[in-house]
Amino acid sequence: MRNNETMHFDTAIIHAGRNPEFAATPIHMAATSKTYYTRGGNPSIREFGQAVAVLEGGDYAVPAACGMAAVTQTLLALLKAGDHILCHRSVYDWTDWWIRDEITRFGVESTQVDFRDAQAFSNALRPSTRMVYFEPLSNPGLDLIDPRRVIADAHSIGALVVVDNTFLTPALLKPLAYGADVVLHSATKFLNGHGDALGGVAVMNNEDLYQKVYRSLNLHGGVISPFNAFLIRRGMRTLAMRMARHCENALTVAEFLGGHPAVTGVRYPGLPGDLGYALAREILPDGSGGMVGFTLGGGQAALDRFTTSLKLIRPWVSLGDTGSLLYGRHPEPRKGIPEGFARLSVGLEDVEDIIADLGQALGIEMTTDNQDVFSTRK
């Protein structure tokens, strides 16, 4: 689908892609019609895709069943045996596994390096590097990566740049404006914002890339349900307001955690002292997102006890919902992720209630026999 709309961001959030005949998106559940077969898209699906394309500043969008469908179809479409993909050292677990263990089954070589290290990054590029892949704010470690440098270096050797913008959303960062070739989303997260539908999308400006990714998605069948496309498009109408509140709450929570004696480290690029702080001031003027990372001195055991004491914040996977979610069981030791690391998706609740819940659970943890671990920490 091609986007040819231009309007201000806050207006586009409401109106982009809309069928002018209706005030809300009609849900087209028909599997087939005079003009479409739904595996290749239909009006409800196209409206969702076009809206994301407009917000990201892209010409084309390929909606997908979920974020992983967008990731895998984009990589399958654009890589072939003999190509090399260079990925940031830490990306979403399932993307990480896919790039390490799955695409390599098809003769693609993959390596990972810390993209924040400019020298290591350029040393890792090869003549065969066809694609460079990263999340500008990485899951789960919240490494902030400079898209300007990575994109310029990758393009200098003719590699494509694919950026997963799930954590920041176009409300905070637009990678296509820096020259990225494809922007991906798990629309399940902040774009939808309400935790009630899975979806994904790939956005690009180049028609050839679009045709390849669209064909791949159609071939492999990772189509989004029209009902989910409707729900996500509906959720997106409040994206700008939600992201502003996520950012405000997250900064307050990061400041609270940074001052708490049970917490050994906090990661939030909007927090002075964070490794990404200077870069965040340059590229994230509207806020550093709704995700905060922190580490407890007592390691995984302390984190497990802390997690079971939470009353408001739910200790479940996923992120970007209205309600706060905490994820603290990383399935294998991760590059750059310390033991006892928790990823908190700060919700839209009153921030005093979020802090009260964190405070009471940290208080319980500190009164356990791990107290001595914390007392030697700072």
Ligand X SMILES: Cc1ncc(COP(=O)(O)O)c(C=O)c1O
Question: Least distance (Å) from ligand X to the CB of residue 93?
Answer: 8
Q: Does 198 bind ligand X (CB under 6 A)?
A: yes
Which residue number, 37 or 97, has a Cβ lying nearer to ligand X?
A: 97
Are 150 and 138 contacting, i.e. CB atoms less than 8 angstroms apart? no
- Contact criterion met (CB below 8 Å) for 64 and 39: no
The catalytic residue among 39, 149, 234, 334 is: 39
289 binds ligand X (CB under 6 A): no
Q: Which of 44, 73, 110, 166 binds ligand X (CB under 6 A)?
A: 166
Only one of the segments 60-68, 73-81, 202-210, 219-227 lies at the binding site for ligand X (rule: CB under 6 A); that segment is 60-68
Tokens coding 129: 């590097």
Q: Which is nearer to ligand X, 172 or 362 (CB)?
A: 172
Structure tokens given for 225: 């349900």
Give 135 or 181: the residue with its C-beta nearer to ligand X.
135
Cβ proximity to ligand X: between 47 and 164 the closer is 164
Per annotation, catalytic residue among 83, 96, 164, 274: 164
DSSP for 138-162, written as a single string:
-TTT--B--HHHHHHHHHHTT-EEE
Task: Return the number of the residue (51 or 302) whose C-beta is nearest ligand X.
Answer: 51
Residue among 53 and 71 whose Cβ is closer to ligand X: 71
Helix (H), strand (E), coil (C) string for 196-233? CCCCEEEEECCHHHHHHHHHHHHHHCCCCCHHHHHHHH
Query: Looking at the DSSP assignment, which residues form a beta bridge with residue 326?
Result: 344
Distance of closest approach, residue 95 Cβ to ligand X, in angstroms: 6
Does residue 67 bind ligand X (CB under 6 A)?
Answer: yes
* CA contacts within 13 A on the Cβ side of 246: 34
Contact call for residue 170 and ligand X (CB under 6 A): no
Q: Which of 61, 66, 113, 302 binds ligand X (CB under 6 A)?
A: 66
Which of 60, 92, 210, 327 is catalytic? The answer is: 92
Residues 6+ apart with CB under 8 A from 118: 149, 153
CB nearer ligand X, residue 67 or residue 195: 67
Dihedrals phi, psi of 291, to nearest 5 degrees:
-105, 130
φ/ψ (deg, to 5) at 127? -60, -30
The yes-or-no answer on residue 164 being catalytic is yes
Min separation Cβ 318 and ligand X, Å: 6
39 assigned to active site:
yes
Q: Any catalytic annotation for residue 189?
A: yes
Supply the DSSP string of 39-72, one letter for each residue: GG--HHHHHHHHHHHHHHT-SEEEEESSHHHHHH
What distances in angstroms separate CA 145 from CA 187, 224, 360, one per listed residue?
21, 30, 34
**CA–CA distance, 334 with 31 (Å, rounded to integer):** 42
Total residues in contact with ligand X, by rule CB under 6 A: 15
Member of 200, 269, 287, 289 binding ligand X (CB under 6 A)? 200
For this structure, is 268 an active site residue? Answer: no
- Under the binding rule (CB under 6 A), the answer on residue 186 touching ligand X is yes
Task: Tell which residue, 309, 295, 307, 294, has the closest CA to residue 364.
Answer: 309
270 forms part of the interface with ligand X (CB under 6 A): no
**Least distance from C-beta 290 to ligand X, angstroms?**
12
Q: Which stretch binds ligand X (CB under 6 A): 67-75, 80-88, 252-260, 334-342?
A: 67-75
State which H helix or E strand residue 252 sits in. helix 239-258
Residues between 89 and 148 with contacts to ligand X, criterion CB under 6 A? 92, 95, 135, 139
Q: Which residues bind ligand X (CB under 6 A)?
A: 66-68, 71, 92, 95, 135, 139, 164, 166-167, 186, 188, 198, 200
Active site residues: 39, 92, 164, 189
